[in-house]
A and B are shown apart, each in its own frame.
Chain A
């Protein structure tokens, strides 16, 4: 099928690219736009490594086609903190609390947590575990990830007026 031009806003910037209609959004982000911070772990929506935000809500970018993102506002891990600026509180918390080892799953977790903390600025452990249960981490056993989310919530609340 012939490639189509696709215009999306990613991390506040307008991107133009072209992709055949069958190309997944994650492949488009990685291969066409060069945004390789979003990872592909299972290609069918189970592991959550490819989680990004579309219009503020989490989506599995491996389960969407690039053409479906046309006209939407996307946010990826690269857009969490300004380049050369301070880390986003969630990034800071994951670094500080050892919420990662190999780090391959991390961008997907960070985007899931971004949505979680917007929905619930002070989540219980149960809520955290439940909301993260669609993201697989093979290295950490999740304990430090849960710690990191609690700490990120604390940092976010402190930063809020």
Chain B
């Protein structure tokens, strides 16, 4: 059976060392088994029929013709779902297979299973679905007045503000101090961001294998094995222990694997046929097979004194969540909670609304709500600096949020937040000199596509600051289990369900275990729901903190247990929890306990760009950043996270956008959805600021998201400096920068 992840190779290393990846060797030799590489004897192939309509009533589905085709072992519709017909990451509002209505282009309608993937594809074409098209809801503002897409209001009654307007997923109002208080100067702006795709390189894939006793094993690339299991089992009408999720190799995730893709579908087909069933999405299907980053429209008004102190901020944030809730409620909370940026503001009114539409569903993507508001808030800070004639860095230092200050939710910051330090360190990085002309066309904006000799180049230097929370918030019971088996010979095995998606948590767990146990003889068991409790999700920059805590606690407990017993083999499991959070008050948006967010991390970034204002092309010349990381567990891996996170922010600033027309994605391929290449991405100069987080194991903080939060804002700031244009929309388009 090849359906297990390669066991990571052993390398020596303790906390704080610069270490190569534990799984580097199998990944460079091609042995590492990604979800799409899985195979097993007798395996069949599943495929998905998807809706061509953004909004339609499903009148009838006829699979008869498909069933008669060669090699076909089954064709399933919603009638074949034995358990619950709806599922969802946080709210069960999404049909496993469309029932009487489809709400987005690409919504799963029927499944087929065949001997060969081509037979499955042909069978999909033979399924006859009669649709009655309905008017799609595609504008996030109009959505609040149109017919409700979910008349049963699935997200209401969960402690959020009860908003009766149609299509509201969540309406969060944070009222802090007296938002009407005057300032000497006022700057306003309306900002927009398009839909960004995670575009992980390894498309969705999974293999479901029936266990012969009514249960099923699902091998899949995911971010959270146990929450997958808890969504899959009820739909199959099985007990959780009858459904075992096993992590296969993950080809990147960035939030896009937090929601289910083919997990339930492959299991349905496997149980229907009694045979293993594999499903693999191609790139076009992947674009509709996972949620995206919310597009946003953000209106801001910032007031300040003449010497630059912010007196009050008003923000109205509108997020298009698309057809299903996914994690929109939490994205809305983050957008609001971190909307002001890491600045001390005593008076604020922040109103966030996430809506249902018939656009592609949106949910988690690296930065999660904070990316969108950072773009708006930092543009406002630059505008304010210009209005006041102040240096943008000085303005940020003057207003910097630090421990002892309050967030607009009333939460007093008690952990580490070295905002001034990251500003100073990033601002002190020397900016490279302007390169002379003429020069190698590769070093012109647009590269060899630039047909000039650089006459239209304008240089700009920008600066931005961004922050967000670490770990889950608002009262969520966020925990992580780890199990440690100490053998009599002194070696140890760590069991954890923490999903390694490329970020390097495997290395973190081994570093912790080796440090705690004082031995190099530590290995990791495969990640699975079968042998250990939930690790929680690889998201919200939480996995390093939570897995380090769980492995540390389990190691210490194992050593104590061995001491107590006087030797022999011990096997202990421990659950780590971070300090409890409490919900926000649904009416005021204020905290109801000490904190709604556990911890915060801040990053500052300085950027140099060259914009060719004749051709509308941009080259990011240089990026320097300082990031608050708590404690660097493996600085080599951490720098890789910062560089990669910055590249994704560069993509959102300059080129990445899912374009829709009447709800349908127009560019579901890597030809039409552009991703930064090695020529687009400059080297990143990095300063790590280590101020330990008091509540976290070893003082760590998550590091994956802050670079993505800050980089879009910083790059567009530099482009504004180069062009003098307001540039209120990301990604910036060539037309926006042609002077």
Contacts and interface: CB of A to CB of B under 8 A. Distances in A.
Interface of A: 30, 35-44, 46-47, 49, 76-78, 80-81, 87, 91, 94-96, 98, 100-107, 110, 126, 128-130, 132-146
Interface of B: 20-21, 23-25, 27-34, 36-37, 198-203, 249-254, 282-283, 440, 442-443, 501-504, 636-637, 639-640, 642-648, 669-671, 675, 677-679, 681, 683-684
Contact of B678 (A43, A80, A145): A145
Given A81-B29, A95-B24, A101-B503, A129 B679 contact: yes
B502 A101 contact: yes
A102 B502 contact: yes
Given A44-B670, A129-B679, A36 B33 contact: yes
Given A129-B679, A141-B684, A80 B202 contact: no
Given A37-B31, A91-B28, A141-B644, A47 B670 contact: yes
9 contacts: A36-B30, A43-B283, A95-B24, A102-B251, A102-B502, A104-B251, A138-B199, A139-B644, A146-B678
A135 B679 CA distance: 11
A106 B200 CA distance: 13
A132 B678 contact: yes
Contacts of A36: 30, 33-34, 37
Contacts of A138: 198-201, 252, 254, 644, 647-648, 675
Given A37-B30, A41-B201, A43-B282, A98 B640 contact: yes
Contacts of A139: 201, 252, 502, 640, 644
Contact of A104 (B34, B443, B648, B675): B34
What's the dominant secondary structure at chain A's contact region? loop
Contact of B671 (A44, A126, A137, A146): A44
A104 B201 contact: yes
Contacts, number: 176
Residue among B23, B671, B677, B678 having the largest count of chain A Cβ atoms under 10 Å:
B678
A106 B29 CA distance: 9
B113 to A, nearest CB: 17
Contacts of B678: 128-130, 132-133, 135, 137, 142, 145-146
A103 B32 contact: yes
B251 A133 contact: no
Given A126-B440, A138-B199, A146-B678, A101 B30 contact: no
A100 B24 contact: yes
A146 B640 CA distance: 12
Contacts of B252: 101-102, 104, 138-139
A22 to B, nearest CB: 9
A102 B501 contact: yes
B31 A42 contact: no
A87 B669 contact: no
B576 to A, nearest CB: 25
Contacts of A144: 639-640, 643
Contacts of B637: 98
A137 B501 CA distance: 14
B546 to A, nearest CB: 19
Contacts of B28: 77, 87, 91, 94-95, 100, 103, 106-107, 110
Given A87-B29, A98-B640, A137 B201 contact: yes
A15 B283 CA distance: 29
A41 B203 contact: yes
A15 B642 CA distance: 43
A26 to B, nearest CB: 11
Contacts of B669: 42, 44, 46
Contacts of B32: 103
